[in-house]
Amino acid sequence: KMKNSFSFYIFLAVLSHHFSGTKCSNEATAEGDIIIGGLFPIHESVTVTVNDDGRENRTSRLVHSLIMVHALEEINQKRELGNLTLGYLILDSCGDVTTALIQTQSFMMRNSNNRQDCAQQSSPPVLVVIGDYYSEISIRVTGQLHLEYIPEISYGATSGFLSDKTRFPSFMRTVPQDDHQARAIAQILDHYGWTWVGVVATDSEYGRYITERLWHHATKKGICFAFISVLPDALNDESHEERINSTIKSIIDNRNVSVIISFAKAYCMIDIFGKLLKYPQARGKVWLASDIWSQSPEVLSSQNYKLSDIGTIFGITLKSGNTTKFERYLDDLDENPNHHDNNTFLANFLNEHGTNSSEELKKLIYPYAVFSIELAVKAIAQAVKDLCTNRNCKTQPLRPLELRRALRKATFHMEEKSYSFDHHGDLNSGYDIILWKQTQDSLDVNNILAYYSIEHQNLTFTSQETQQGNVTSRCTDSCRPGYRKTSVTGQPGCCYQCEPCAENQYSNTNDSETCHPCKENYYSKNTSSVCLPRKTDFLKWGDVYLIVLLSFTSLGAVLTIVVGIIFLAHWNTPVVRSSVGPLCIILLLSLMITFTSVILFGGQPNSSQCQARQVVFGLSFTLCVSCIMVKSFKIVLAFEFDPVIQSVLKKLYKPYLIIAVCMAGQVVIVTTWLIHSPPNTDSEITQKNMKLIFCNEKLIPAFGAMLAYIGLLALICFGVAFKGRKLPDSYNDAKFITFAMLIYFISWIMFGPVYVNVTGKYLPAVEMIVILISCYGILFCQFFTKCYIILCKKEANTEKAFRCNIRNYSMNHKGSEDELSSNRVENPTLSASVEAPSHWHERLI
């Protein structure tokens, strides 16, 4: 195994000779008892480029390596590890995977040489490596370092794949993984209502993973991607220019996209912004920068671009640290390049920038890097301290595997807070949301707008006021309240149509997905955002039609009472006696109750009222018709000449029993109705969106049976009365009963079709009118003529007048006096010596 590994290292060493002439081959070293490796993308490209003034560019992450140097020197100066000192070996990955793998061999070969020459142990092995910044580099490097069990602590690699300890057991990091960053970005988009966005990413582990996670979280919030542009991860890729142009075209073509999320590297953004400035319609966008370039002002300053030319730039940054001590370190930095032979990166930078090198370096400080790199150094120092407390680490050197285990268990402190790695080797410290601001002299990329807590998964905005809520980035306009979103076939969920809410439905929020039905007793019109209380409708007491009907009802009741008083006052007169006085009083009482039942058809219905009004009307009017039917039988019985028929009728004629039997039949009908399915209140919605309250008769056959039963009794009355229509004028009840029943039949025959076709609150008025017509017909025909004789023709209200009238009728009637005598019906109230025609009179009174 040792031989094979050594051969592999020789192969990579030969391959690395190709890079020996580049700036990537420089290094920074310092001796110590424990050596910590450092891998930083000090140059962003293998091929070094220069600015117009001849200075090398893309060395912005040189400061990252100096943060590590400063943190290690501070620990040594404070003697936090006692007599142990920390040294370092810092190499340049140049932001390139291949270069990083070659540089990693320097760490591994040092350990391999140390193992092969155990006796001398001229140089301590590299126990841990801090870096790299990029996820795609860290994924490859940690796999290689794991061959020697060397742990890697990244300060910027955020890919979620690296949380898999089965694949990457030696990897740890002082930053959260990208799934949390994707959640934070999705919350920012949701906060501002940006649902139609573009995404720019690199074709790398980092770019693919965070794009997928952002899509996952954004979809849950109703956010869609208008386009995803994938750029090559390597700057020297042959398709780089073509992909950049394709990205520019996507931005220009999608005019509704005002917000673009970028996971690209800083040098890609320089090229994108440079080309976008050629298209005025592509300016003024909102750019949401991921942590990979959110604090890289050089994307604008390197080409002298103005923020106002680009638009607005938000940034997601890792938790920021206090840069004060590090700035003092840079201020005290010896700017003589010859004094930094152990750090060729710094020496070259000092040679290029001269006496203002410290100020230039301070411009390149990333606050998040200060926090993450210092925290990584603190973790290593604490792990070493834990291992060397009961052990002489100078005589018993530490091994990488020991340190890895100790790192996973260590609890370390910084800025008065405690930190430790979780079971994934991650450290979830949260994010800062920044908003770039253009100042008169420079670009401020450290302006914190909000904080994102990983623990609570929420955004907390600072007191700063932003105007970004005015920016709209939607596929379609927002659906106003009163409308709902409906999907369009073949389009993503963010591209929808707005359909109006139907009647009696509403939506009270923008972009509502459903229209909610109004609650009971509420209604709404089309496109409504609220439901209004529904007004109730019924035949109100103040309605003019009901007032008129109640006036006639009151008049009928008064007339009934007046008639009753007249009859009682003239109780013993022939007119009252011939009308069968007791039956008339019962008849008047039933009419009075029927008139009263009309009142129950007005006002707001309730269950008791619905049941009472039909029952009271049915029973009272049945009593009324029954009394009239008995009177009809009485008249026919008095003037029947056939002795056989008269004998049968006389036996059957039991007036109060007949009335009771007739009433019993109606009682059975209404009782069955009330028990089986009684009338009750019901409601329906009218065309005017009012709630009509009405009585639902429910069991229509029972209602029909009640009316039919009354009709049957009325038909019998009509038939019997019609038979006696030619009786003497003094006994003309049969004629008037016939007229009364005709009025009843006509009114109720008209009632049927009218009742079926009339709707609304005036439906009860139809039945009220028919009842009043029937009552007035009986009252007029049965009593008004008699009251007229009683009050105005008193001479006709005598027994002499009645006998005379009967005598005249008998003279014109067929038959003999003997036949009349044989049909005599004794009446104890009259004298036995009365002539034969008076016998008819006696039968009636």
**Domain extents in the chain:** 24-111+123-175+339-420, 483-533, 544-797
Mean pLDDT over 578-586 rounds to 83
Mean pLDDT over 26-46 rounds to 88
- Residue 699 makes CB contacts below 8 A (sequence gap 6+) with 673, 676, 677
Q: Residue 402: pLDDT above 60?
A: yes
- Say if CB 679 and CB 700 are below 8 A apart: no
Token code pair at residue 344: 């060729």
Could you give the CA distance from residue 459 to residue 761 in angstroms, rounded to a whole number?
58
Which residues partner with 34 through β-bridges?
86
Mean pLDDT over 187-196 rounds to 92
pLDDT of 786: 86
Mean pLDDT over 172-199 rounds to 93
What 476-481 contacts at long range (C-beta under 8 Å, 24+ apart), as own/partner pairs, is 478/193, 478/510, 478/511, 479/507, 479/510, 479/511, 479/512, 480/510, 480/529, 481/506, 481/507, 481/508, 481/509, 481/510, 481/512, 481/529
pLDDT > 90 in the chain, percent: 47
Same fold, 24-111+123-175+339-420 and 544-797: no
Could you give the CA distance from residue 572 to residue 564 in angstroms, rounded to a whole number?
14
State in words which class domain 24-111+123-175+339-420 has: alpha beta
- Say if CB 339 and CB 482 are below 8 A apart: no
For the chain, the 3-state helix, strand and coil shares in percent, each to the nearest 5, are 50, 15, 35
Mean pLDDT over 544-564 rounds to 95
pLDDT of 59: 66
- Say if CB 10 and CB 108 are below 8 A apart: no
> At 117, is the pLDDT very low, low, confident or very high (cuts 50, 70, 90)?
low
Residue type, 237: D
3-state secondary structure of 523: strand
Q: Residue 619: pLDDT above 50?
A: yes
Higher pLDDT, 670 or 14: 670
pLDDT, tens digit, for every residue of 214-237? Answer: 999 999 998 999 999 999 987 778
Report which listed range, 29-43, 122-136, 818-832, is most confident: 29-43
Least confident span in 350-364, 518-532, 581-595? 350-364
Helix pair 700-723, 733-757: axis angle to 10 deg? 160
Mean pLDDT over 467-474 rounds to 78
Could you give the CA distance from residue 11 to residue 18 in angstroms, rounded to a whole number?
12
Q: What is the largest CA-CA distance in the chain?
A: 170
> At 286, is the pLDDT very low, low, confident or very high (cuts 50, 70, 90)?
very high
State in words which class domain 544-797 has: mainly alpha
Residue type, 341: D
Query: What pTM was computed for the model?
Result: 0.63
Strands laid side by side in the 126-131 sheet: 27-30, 86-92, 34-40, 126-131, 152-154, 171-173
- Residue 71 makes CB contacts below 8 A (sequence gap 6+) with 373, 374, 377, 378
* DSSP label of 436: -
Least confident span in 310-319, 406-415, 726-735, 799-808? 726-735
Could you give the CA distance from residue 571 to residue 582 in angstroms, rounded to a whole number?
10
Q: Residue 565: pLDDT above 80?
A: yes
Using the structure block, give the residue that is written with the tokens 């620990």.
Answer: 75
Average pLDDT, the chain: 84
